[in-house]
Structure formats: structure tokens, C-alpha cells
Amino acid sequence: MSTALQRVIGGESWAAYCEGLKAAGETILRADAPDSLLDRAEGWRLLSRYARLGLQMMLEFADPDFPVFYAASDDTIKVFLPNPDNLYCNATIAGDREYRVHGRRGSVAYLSFGTKANRYAIDGTMASTGELEAKEMRIDADGRFELLLSARPQPGNWLPMAADSSMLIVRQTFLDRRTETAAELHIECLSAPSAPAPLSAAALDAGLTRALAFVQGTAKLVADWAAWVAQHPNQLAAAPYVAASMRVGGDPKICYYHGYWRLAPDEALLIETEVPDCPYWNFQLANHWLESLDCQHRRVHLNKHDARLNPDGSLTLLIAAEDVGVGNFIDSDHHAQGGMLLRWVGADAHPQPRCRVVKLDALRHRAR
């Protein structure tokens, strides 16, 4: 009897998964993590969300012969500062196979495809192995397209893969969800058998092991990143984080300005910057665990379409617990600290934002 078979029959696979989830809780209790009720509760919820995503990614949708698109980030699963303007579609792939993606372009402002070597469960990285934007593709007049994924070059629309490519990520970025339509996407493996094999002991045991490693590794990655960026609070910077952003799955066409905000109840963070010529930009707030805040009910992010620019074309953002009528208000949503991120996408320049903490009373007087 194989080891995996013994572990599944005897229940050790499941027991190890559950014990590992319990151990992952030590990340939430780290000394460098905030211990308020809200921050602690969101930390425990984070682990429950990662557990759900880990099982989807490593067990439910893990067959590279029968890939399907699923959302690795949505309104309730938020891994490492996901863009609230994005619709994320992920699919499991393997570098020794070839795939066909087809559908309609839609009208989203930005559409990109990327193959990744997903090592979140190993070392917290997600290396890029191929990138392609919709504007670089051949698309029919009615919006239909076909895209081939493979390690060997292909004619037409081709997205490169590497031997260790394991994930396809599609980013659809909306400027205005009320008027834009999402792309229609389908994926198939070109060498798949006629039907999936029954669930085996090896697949279940390995899936649970990888799902647990994803929870533990990703939680540690997020906690480490938050602690790192928090060393320089209330500032936005790109240079220190460029390489790290790419290692965790960032889009190379995007310039990311990371930061960590921390405010007292009577304070606000004023951010001022020039705005480059680019098809899309946005700014967002997150909690300590780098989950984007509640964009469904509060104004916790802003993009090019919604922003009010100053007469000289510059941008002023105000992070605070209340709107005092200065600049573009970004609601801190009952939080006292957390991550923040500014993205310039396809920009001709990358201006450095200027950040300073100000008293709300002073801003109230200024707004009169």
C-alpha cells in the first residue's frame, strides 16, 4: 500500500491539513502585527479565505488537462493588494502542455494575459514566464480572438510558457464597470484525454499538502511584506519594491508605488502627485493583511475615470476617517493602519508622490 493511500485511508492527510491550519495562526499573533480587535479578527478571517482559495487552487481546479477559469481574487478573497478595478481570472496549466484560449475582447480598459510559475506554496514567489497585452494581439472586428499558450513559439497570438509554468492569470481592468463589458474567456488543453481520471489518493494527499503550504506560505509572505513596508509609514515608494513586486506576480507593464499608512483618529494622510499620460492609473487602501478595503460600500480606491484633478492637472488624495472637502477623499473604513498602493499602467513617466500627515482640524479650516 502506497504512503498516500495509507494517509488517505487512515485520515492522516486530513489531520495534517487541519493541524497545519491551526499552526498558521501563529502568523496572526506575530509581535509585529497590530493587535486591535478589527486587525486580529481580519487576520483570522484572512486564514479562512486563504484556506478556501488554497483548496480551489490546489485541489478543485488543479488539473492542468482540464483547466477552468476561477477567481483567485474577488470581493471576499483578497490576496496581496488585489486591484478593486480588476476582474481576475486564473487557470491551472502545465509547462509541458499546450493550451488554447479563445473568446471576445469586451471593452475593459486593460486586458492582459500572463503565465506564471506559482511558487507561493514553496517560497512565496510567482515568477513571470510570459506576458501579453490585448493591444498586442490580433483581434477580429467583432472582438473575437484566439491565443495559444506553449513553450515553443506559435504563429499569431502566442503567450510563452516555461517548463515550470503552472498558472495563467488574466487581468481585466475597468475604468467604469457601469459601461464596460468583461471579456468572454474559454480555455482548453490541446492534448487532454477524453475525461478526467477519478480522484486518487495521491492527488488528494498532494492537493491537501499544497493547499496547506499555500495558506502558510502566503500568510507569512503578507505578514513579512507588511512589516517591511511599515518601517517607513505614510510614504509611497517604487524603487525598493520593484523586484519584490515582480516576484509575487506583479505585471511588468505596471509601475507600483507601495506604502503603509498609519494614522491617529485626528489625522489624515495628504498625497499629492503629478499624473502621467497613461491609459489607466489607480490608488487603493488595504488593511494590515494587504486585503483591499470594502470597495462595494465605501470609497476606498480611486482611478483615472473617477478622480477630480487640480486645475494644473495634478492629483490630491486625502486618506482619513471623514471627508473634510479637500482633494479626493479615500475612506480609511474604521482602520488605523494598513497597506496602500498606487499604480501607473503603461505610463510615459513615473512621478514620485509626495505624502505628509496633517491634522484634520487644519484641513477643515482650509476647506472653508
Q: Rounded mean pLDDT of 308-331?
A: 96
Q: Are residues 344 and 279 both part of a single domain? A: yes
Least confidently predicted of 54-63, 68-77, 117-126, 334-343: 117-126
Note whether residue 100 is domain-resident: yes
Q: How confident is the model at residue 250 (pLDDT cuts 50, 70, 90)?
A: confident
Residue 201: in which H helix or E strand, if any? Answer: helix 201-229
Q: Rounded mean pLDDT of 121-130?
A: 76
Q: Are residues 173 and 28 both part of a single domain? A: yes
pLDDT at 97: 98
Q: Rounded mean pLDDT of 37-52?
A: 98
Domain count of the chain? 2
pLDDT value at 245 more than 80: no
Least confidently predicted of 150-154, 229-233, 252-256: 252-256
Q: Could you read off the pLDDT of 277-294 as tens digits, one per residue?
A: 999 999 999 999 999 999
Note whether residue 86 is domain-resident: yes
pLDDT value at 86 more than 90: yes
Q: Are residues 140 and 240 both part of a single domain? A: no
Q: Are residues 36 and 184 both part of a single domain? A: yes
The domain boundary, picked from 137, 158, 189, lies at 189
At residue 89, what is the residue type? C
Q: How confident is the model at residue 240 (pLDDT cuts 50, 70, 90)?
A: confident
Compute the Cα dihedral for 23, 294, 178, 113 and give only its sign.
Answer: negative
Note whether residue 203 is domain-resident: no
Q: Are residues 28 and 164 both part of a single domain? A: yes
Q: What is the CATH number of the domain that holds 358?
A: 2.60.120.600
pLDDT at 124: 63
What is the signed CA dihedral for 15, 18, 24, 25, rounded to 10 degrees? Answer: -130
Note whether residue 105 is domain-resident: yes
Note whether residue 250 is domain-resident: yes
Give dist(CA 308, CA 314) in Å, integer. 9
Q: Are residues 95 and 179 both part of a single domain? A: yes
Q: Are residues 269 and 139 both part of a single domain? A: no
Q: Could you read off the pLDDT of 90-125 as tens digits, one per residue?
A: 999 999 999 999 999 999 999 999 999 977 656 667
Question: Who contacts 207 (Cβ-Cβ below 8 Å, separation ≥6)?
Answer: 55, 58, 59, 62
Compute the Cα dihedral for 347, 351, 354, 360 and give only its sign.
Answer: negative
Q: Are residues 159 and 263 both part of a single domain? A: no
Q: Are residues 256 and 181 both part of a single domain? A: no
Give dist(CA 9, CA 324) in Å, integer. 62
Domain that holds residue 107: 3-189
pLDDT at 248: 67
The domain boundary, picked from 162, 189, 216, lies at 189
Q: Are residues 243 and 334 both part of a single domain? A: yes
The domain boundary, picked from 137, 168, 189, lies at 189
pLDDT at 123: 66
Q: Rounded mean pLDDT of 315-327?
A: 96
Q: Rounded mean pLDDT of 302-313?
A: 96
Q: Could you read off the pLDDT of 138-190 as tens digits, one per residue?
A: 999 999 999 999 999 999 999 999 999 999 999 999 999 999 999 999 999 99
**Mean pLDDT score of the chain:** 94
Question: Who contacts 103 (Cβ-Cβ below 8 Å, separation ≥6)?
Answer: 144, 145, 183, 184, 185, 186
Phi and psi of 138, rounded to 5°? -85, 120
Note whether residue 208 is domain-resident: no
Q: Are residues 16 and 83 both part of a single domain? A: yes
Q: Are residues 286 and 167 both part of a single domain? A: no
Q: How confident is the model at residue 202 (pLDDT cuts 50, 70, 90)?
A: very high
DSSP character string of 274-339: ---S-SEEEEEEB-TT--B--TTTS--EEETTT----TTS-EEEEEESS--SSSEEEE-TT-SEEE
**Helices 12-28, 201-229: crossing angle, 10 deg rounding:** 0
pLDDT at 253: 81
